[in-house]
Structure 1
C-alpha cells in the first residue's frame, strides 16, 4: 500500500466534492484531483470504442488529465468518493502524490505485460488486494465490486477469458468468489 504525506491543512481551502458509486467525476480542464475517500477507475477508449482501464486509484492518490495525457479521459467512482481539487500552482506541494501516481502506473503496466493470462489476472488481483484490500477470515478481501467486464477492460482480454480464468483460480484455491462481485485472495 502506498503511503501518502497528505496533510489535511494543505487542501483545506479547496472545496471537497462527494460522488456516489458509479457516478462520473467531472474532470477539470486544469489542475488535479486528490482522492480523500473512496476509490475510482480511470478509463479511456480505443478508436474502435473499446474501453481501456488506465488505473484504479484510492485515498491519497492524485489523478487528472495532466498526469495521463490521454483523450478521452473519464473518472468512474467504484465506491462513494470524496475528492478535492489541486490547482496547478500547488503541484509542487503534491510531488509525493504525483510520484506515487507514476509508480502505480508503472506497476499496472508491468502487470499488463505479463505473458500468461492466468498470471496477469492473479497479479492484478494481488495488486488490487494490496491497494484496496482488507483482512477477513479467509484472506484478503478486495473491497471493490468488480465485474468481469471491468477486469477484462483492465487486462486487455475478453470477458469470457476472465470468467474462465476466475473459475480456474477458484479451483486452484487462490481466490474465493462466494459473494457476487467480491473477490477474496485466499491466505496460504
Structure 2
C-alpha cells in the first residue's frame, strides 16, 4: 500500500530536518522529497567557480542520481524538511521526473539569457512564481538569497548583481522588504533592441 504522494507508509515517518547551509546527504539509492524549504543543487568547476544547477522547493525531488555533475551538492538555502525515499519505493516516479526536467529546462533558459539584467529578471520571476506569495505590492519572494548566490545562479559577479538590484529598485521592478524582495507587477527591466 502506498500513500497518494507515491511514498510507501514505512518511509513517510523518516522526515529529516536541516538548517540553512546544511547539505543533504548524497545517497545513490534514494531521492530526497522536499516537504518545506528551498534546496540549491550545485557543483564546482576546476577553477573553483560555483555553478548552481537548480533551486528546488516543496514537492520537488533532488538526488545525486539525477545529475552527472561531479562534484554534486544539495545545499539548504533555508531550513528544510525532507524525506529520504528509496527509488524502489516510488510507485509513479515519472511525473516527478518530468517536472524535474521541466524545471531544469526553465533554469537553463534563465542561466543562458543575455544581457545579464534579463537573466536576473527571469530568475526573480521564477523565484516569485515558485516560492512567492501575493502581497499588496506584488509577489514576495519568501526566502533570502545572497547577492553572491544570485550571481552564481546566473553566471555573473556579485558586484554586477548588487548594481542591477539597485537599478531594478530605482526603476520600480522590485521593492526591498528587509532582506527579501517583492517583484512588482507589470514591469520589464530594460528595453533591448533586436537586429
The residue aligned with 2:86 is: 87
Alpha-carbon distance change, 129 to 11 in structure 1, aligned in 2, over 3 angstroms = farther
The residue aligned with 2:4 is: 7
Alpha-carbon distance change, 92 to 8 in structure 1, aligned in 2, over 3 angstroms = closer
Compare 153-162 and 70-79 and name the one that shifted more.
Answer: 70-79
The residue aligned with 1:21 is: 20
SS in 2 for 1:24: coil
SS in 2 for 1:97: helix
Aligned counterparts, 1:1-188, within 5 A: 7-8=4-5, 10-14=7-11, 15-91=14-90, 93-180=92-179, 182-188=180-186
Asked whether the equivalents of residues 11 and 84 of structure 1 are also in contact (C-alpha less than 8 Å), the reply is no
Q: Report the number of matched residues.
A: 182
Cα offset, 1:83, TM superposition = 1.0
For the residues of structure 2 that align with 1:71 and 1:92, how far apart are their CA atoms?
29
Give TM-score, length-normalised by structure 1: 0.90
1:69-103, Cα deviation, whole Å (9 max, x unpaired): 11111111122211112213235522211111110
SS in 2 for 1:52: strand
Structure 1's unaligned 5+ residue stretches are: 1-5
Give TM-score, length-normalised by structure 2: 0.87
Cα offset, 1:10, TM superposition = 2.2
For the residues of structure 2 that align with 1:115 and 1:9, how far apart are their CA atoms?
39
Compare 120-129 and 66-75 and name the one that shifted more.
Answer: 66-75
Q: Which has the larger radius of gyration?
A: 2
